[in-house]
Amino acid sequence: MRLVVTEKNDAAQKIADLLGVKKPKSDKVYSTPVYRFEVDGEEWVTIGLRGHILEPDFTPSMVYKRRGGWQGVTEEGESVAAEVPAELPRPPFKKKKPFTEDGVELKAWKMDALPYLAYAPIVKLPKEKDIIRSLKNLAKKADAIIIATDFDREGELIGADALACCRQVNETAPVSRARYSAFTKEEITHAFSNLVPMDNNLAAAGSSRQDIDLIWGAALTRYLTLVKFAGYGNVRSSGRVQTPTLALVVAKERERMAFVPQDYWVIRGRFDAAAQVGPTDGEGELAFEAPHATTRFKDEVRAHAAIAAVEQARCATVSAVEKRTRTVAPPVPFNTTSLMAAASAEGISPARTMRIAESLYMDGYISYPRVDNTVYPKSLDLRGVVQAISGNPAYAPYCKQLLSRGALHATRGKKETTDHPPIYPTAKATPDDLPAANYKLYNLIARRFLATLSDAAVVEGTKVSLDVAGEPFVAKGDVLVKPGFRAIYPYGLKKDEQLPSLQQGQRIAFNGATCTKKQTEPPARYSQGRLIQEMERLGLGTKSTRHSIIERLYTVKYIVNDPIEPSQLGMAVCDALDKFAPHITHPEMTAELEAEMDNIAAGITTKDAVVGNSRKLLSEQLAQLMPHSEEVSAALADAVAADAYVGPCPKCGRDLQIRASQKTRGMFIGCAGWPDCDVTYPLPSGKIEALSEVCSTCGMPQVKVTAFRTKPRTICIDPNCPTNAEPDVVVGLCPTCGDAGIDAKLIARKNPRTLKRFIRCENYDECGTGYPLPQYGKLEPTDEACEHCGAPIVVVTTARGPWRLCPNFDCPGKEQEKQGKAAKGKATRGGTRKGSSARSGSGTRGGKKKASTPSRKRTSRSASSSSASSSK
Q: Note if 368 is an active site residue.
A: yes
- Are 770 and 808 within 8 A, CB to CB? no
Residue 281 phi/psi, 5-degree rounding, is -70, -15
- The C-alpha atoms of residue 796 and residue 777 are separated, in whole angstroms, by 6
- The C-alpha atoms of residue 735 and residue 807 are separated, in whole angstroms, by 13
Q: Which helix (H) or strand (E) holds 39?
A: strand 32-39
CB atoms within 10 A of CB 754: 12
- The C-alpha atoms of residue 473 and residue 128 are separated, in whole angstroms, by 71
Residue 254 phi/psi, 5-degree rounding, is -65, -40
**Contact residues for 499 (Cβ-Cβ < 8 A; gap 6+):** 288, 462, 464, 475, 476, 477
- The C-alpha atoms of residue 36 and residue 27 are separated, in whole angstroms, by 7
In the three-class reduction of DSSP (H, G, I as helix; E, B as strand; rest coil), residue 191 is classed as helix
Q: Which helix (H) or strand (E) holds 67?
A: none
- Are 744 and 737 within 8 A, CB to CB? yes
From 455, 457, 365, select the one nearest 410 (Cα to Cα): 455
In the three-class reduction of DSSP (H, G, I as helix; E, B as strand; rest coil), residue 515 is classed as strand
β-pair partners for 208: none
Residue 316 phi/psi, 5-degree rounding, is -130, 155
- The C-alpha atoms of residue 490 and residue 379 are separated, in whole angstroms, by 29
- Are 85 and 159 within 8 A, CB to CB? no
Beta-sheet pairing, 2-6 with 144-147: parallel
**Contact residues for 379 (Cβ-Cβ < 8 A; gap 6+):** none
Residue 537 phi/psi, 5-degree rounding, is -60, -35
**Contact residues for 188 (Cβ-Cβ < 8 A; gap 6+):** 14, 15, 18, 19, 180
**Contact residues for 19 (Cβ-Cβ < 8 A; gap 6+):** 37, 39, 44, 188, 189, 192
Residue 421 phi/psi, 5-degree rounding, is -75, 165
Q: Which residues of 40-64 are buried (b: 16+ CB within 10 A; e: fewer)?
A: eeeebbbbbbeebbbbbbbbbbbbb
- Are 111 and 66 within 8 A, CB to CB? no
- Are 808 and 794 within 8 A, CB to CB? no
Which stretches does DSSP call E strand in 400-506?
457-468, 471-482
CB atoms within 10 A of CB 382: 18
- The C-alpha atoms of residue 575 and residue 54 are separated, in whole angstroms, by 36
CB atoms within 10 A of CB 843: 12
From 357, 319, 307, select the one nearest 463 (Cα to Cα): 319
- Are 156 and 601 within 8 A, CB to CB? no
In the three-class reduction of DSSP (H, G, I as helix; E, B as strand; rest coil), residue 171 is classed as coil
Measured in residues, the chain has a length of 872
Q: How far is CA 66 from the centre of its chain?
A: 51
In the three-class reduction of DSSP (H, G, I as helix; E, B as strand; rest coil), residue 170 is classed as coil
Provide the 8-state DSSP code for 189: H
CB atoms within 10 A of CB 692: 7
In the three-class reduction of DSSP (H, G, I as helix; E, B as strand; rest coil), residue 31 is classed as coil
Query: Catalytic: which of 64, 180, 368, 776?
Result: 368
- Are 587 and 539 within 8 A, CB to CB? yes
- Residues catalogued as catalytic: 368
